[in-house]
Every structure is written in structure tokens, then in C-alpha cells.
Amino acid sequence: MSKYIGDKKFYKKVLAVAIPIIIQNGITNFVSLLDNIMVGSIGTEQMSGVAIVNQLMFVFYLAIFGAISGPGIFTAQYVGQKNPKGIRHTVRFKIVVAVVIAIAAALFMFFFKETLISLFLHEQGEDIDPVATLNYAKNYMNVMLFGMLPFAYTQSYAGTLRESGETMVPMKAGLVAVFVNLILNYILIFGHFGAPKLGVAGAAVATVISRVVELVIVVAWTHRHLEKNEFAQGLYKHFTIPKELVIKIIAKGTPLFLNELLWSMGMTALTQCYSTRGLSVVAAFNISNVITNLFNVVMISMGSVVAIMIGQILGSGDMKNVVDTDRKLIAFSVFLSTVLGILLIILAPLFPMLYNTEDDIRKLATLLMRIAALFMPVGAFLNCAYFTLRSGGKTFITFLFDSAYLWLICWPVAYVLSRFTNMTIGYLYFCVLCIDFIKVLIGAIMLKKKIWIHDLVG
């Protein structure tokens, strides 16, 4: 068991990196839950409209994450090498790419919003009005587009700070932002304190303002503490990046960007398959996903811990220690996700009671949460395996492992089952998640072969 369980010093180091990320992600997801309940209290159409737009925004968020992940691999290894000049070049690359993607995505979603939203609207003889849902979704999206650029810029800075070992500042900025979002939601959705009652548009306005607040905090702190953040010195002076580094980042980063983009699109395509069972399924998945994301905070955060710790060890050249550290990080993540999965199975019926919606939707949301909880340990292993492969620069393999697998295996199964069978949504969702067991076997083999151990900056 000593191969999988570390000593007190090991877990102290892991928790020092993990806890700020877990707190930030946890509070963000908790506030998302409160936001969701507020919007859901207005009506099921409003809740469904917001859920559809957030599913589309999910593609953008993952595209930004993928775009900065490529240079982020180099950032983590430059940190291990103690090379602020190299870090500075990677930050510049992140900023340029993130801004371009944000502007392009905003324009695309603005001109094609009705077509994109309509993909998820299937009546199935229900009481939920698809026309009203479409209009609420459009109103929400029109405002949310203004928050895309601040989000992209913030991630360029926050990702670099985390890769440098500074996890507290992004956490604090995130906490301030989510509380600003929560307070403004209360004021603008319902029209309290003399403010106009804006409904779903108010929820979007609150989100955009919170994004700007987070951006200001992160950027201001970074440039006011240049002794800690040497990479920020002269960051915008002679805004150049060595051609050789650009080529290396593009070579390693393009598969990562495509992976995150295609994976998020694949998850959205899966959701669209599930939506063929009716708008009540969209509403139930909205409740289920918000709660499940809250319980998945540890799993997601452990992926970031793997990326940071393994990247720094690879950059320092300590190849003997890297395999043992990675194995113990994966085991720790799987253990924590198992405990949380059991807890979610027990508590699942309580959460839908918080929503002002129909009993059938509450029961369906409970079922979907329990199914998702069963697969949380599987997700924990796959998440850590992905970040392990990525840390060593095996980005094409991660592309095949993640998005290619999703599109070539998972999505065709979901498409066939949703279009050509009468399978209920519970059985459909369970069957699609079961396909991940094949992926677990593939991931275990790749980790055991140690193909990911590679120093990119030495």
C-alpha cells in the first residue's frame, strides 16, 4: 500500500496546493447552485433557457482552458527551472491567443445564437413552452457575450499564477467575484433595493460584472508584486515571443486546444442527444449537473494539482520521484471521489427540493445525480491520467485519449440510442457512462508504460 499512500509530508504538500483551488472551485460551484435556484424560482422555461446557454458557454470556457494549457505546460516547467524570462514569453502567448478566441467566439455566438439554442428544444408533448425558453435563452446570451473577453484575460493571468505556485490570489479573486455575482443576482433578478427586475438578463449582468471584478483583482495584484512575479516585469514592453518557442508551443499546444474544444463540443453534443427525450430532461440535467459539479470539485482540483506538481518535478529533472508522486496523487483523488460519490447517492433526493419545478423533474434529477455519483471514481482516475499525460507534453496522445475517444466511441453510441431506441433517459445516460471503463483500461496502460515522462525545457 506504500506505493499508493504517501507520508504526512507528501499530503501536507498536496493540500497546500489543492486546498486554495478546491475552495475557489467549491465556492464558485456553490454560488452557481444558488444562482441556479434563483433563476429556477422564476420558472422552468427560464431555468432551461439559462441551462442551454451555459452549455454553449461551456464550449468557450474549455476552448480558453485548452488554449492556455499548451503554453501552461512550458510555464510550469520554466517555474521548475527558475526562468522568469521563459515564463514571461508564455504569458504573452496566452494573452494573444485567449483574446483572439474570445472575440471570435463572441461574434460567432451572436450571429448564430438562435440556431445553436434551437438544437436543444424538443417538445415531446410537455407543458414547457419551447418558444418562451428560446426567448429567455437569447436574452441571457446577449448579455453574457460581454463577459467572454474579461474571462479569457483573467485565465491567462490566473493560470500562470497557479503554475508558479501562487494559488491563493486567484482563489481570493474568484471568491470576491462569486460573492459579487451572488449579491447582484439577488438584486437584479428580483428587482430588490429599487433596482429593475431583469430576470434572466439580470443574472447575466451580474455574471459579467463579477468577471470584470475578478480581472481587475488578478491583474492589479500581479503587477503590484513584481518581486514575487518577476515574469510581469516588462510584460507589455517589447511584446515579443521568440519564434522557436512559438513553434514549440504551437506544436505541443494545438492538440491540447483542439482536444478541449472538441471535448466540450462532444459533451454538448451528448447533452443534445439527451435533450431529444424532452425539455423536462434539459431541466433535470440542469439541476443534476449543478449539484454533481459541486461534488466533483475535488476531482477537478486534483487534476490541477497533478498538472502543477508533476510539471514542476519534470522541469526540475527529478525523474525518479515523478512516477511515485503521480501514482499517489491518482490514488488520493480516486479515494476522495469515492467518498463524495457515496455521499451524493445518499443526499441526492434533497437537492431537487430546493427548486420551484415539477415533481417529475425533481425525481428525474435525483436519478441522474445517483447515476453520475456511481461513476465519480472513474472520472477521478481519467482526469488525473489526462493531466499526467499532458504534463509531459504528450498532447497528441491526450487528444486521442480524450476528445477523439468521445467523438468516435461515446457520441455515436449516444446518438444511436437516443434516435433509434425508446430507452428511457436513465438507462441511456448509464449506458453512455459505462463506455468510460474502456478508457480506464487504455489510461492505465499508458501510465504504466511511462510514455509521459519528458522534460520539455531542459
Q: What is the model's pLDDT at position 123?
A: 61
Nearest to 58 by CA among 262, 243, 208: 262
| 237/115: higher pLDDT | 115
Q: What is the model's pLDDT at position 127?
A: 66
Q: What are the pLDDT digits (tens) for 168-216?
A: 898 889 889 888 998 999 999 999 999 999 999 999 999 999 999 999 9
| 108/47: higher pLDDT | 108
Residue 237 has pLDDT above 90, yes or no: no
CB neighbours of residue 170 within 10 Å: 24
Query: What mean pLDDT do residues 49-70 have?
Result: 88
Label residue 440 exposed, middle or buried (CB < 10 Å: 0-12, 13-18, 19+): middle
Contact 299, 378 (CB under 8 A): no
* CA–CA separation, 351 and 450 (whole Å): 42
Contact 145, 106 (CB under 8 A): yes
Residue 33 has pLDDT above 80, yes or no: no
Contact 402, 259 (CB under 8 A): yes
Residue 125: pLDDT band (50, 70, 90) is: very low
Nearest to 80 by CA among 318, 394, 323: 318
Contact 149, 102 (CB under 8 A): yes
Residue 235 has pLDDT above 90, yes or no: no
CA angle 125, 129, 132 (to 5 degrees): 160
- Structural domain boundaries of the chain? 8-449
Output the DSSP codes for 392-453. TT-HHHHHIIIIIHIIIIIHHHHHHHHHH----HHHHHHHHHHTHHHHHHHHHHHHHHTTT-
Q: What is the model's pLDDT at position 323?
A: 85
Q: What is the model's pLDDT at position 108?
A: 95
Q: What are the pLDDT digits (tens) for 126-144?
A: 567 788 889 999 999 999 9
User: Which one-letter amino acid corresponds to residue 271?
Assistant: T
* CA–CA separation, 103 and 210 (whole Å): 19
User: Which one-letter amino acid corresponds to residue 453?
Assistant: I
* Residue reference for cell 471570435: 104
Q: What is the model's pLDDT at position 311?
A: 79
CB neighbours of residue 123 within 10 Å: 11
Query: What mean pLDDT do residues 291-296 have?
Result: 90
| 80/63: higher pLDDT | 63
Residue 455 has pLDDT above 70, yes or no: no
Q: What is the model's pLDDT at position 440?
A: 94
Q: Longest C-alpha distance within the chain, in Å? A: 63
pTM given for the model:
0.77
Residue 93 has pLDDT above 60, yes or no: yes
Q: What is the model's pLDDT at position 409?
A: 94
* Sign of the alpha-carbon torsion through 47, 49, 53, 56: positive
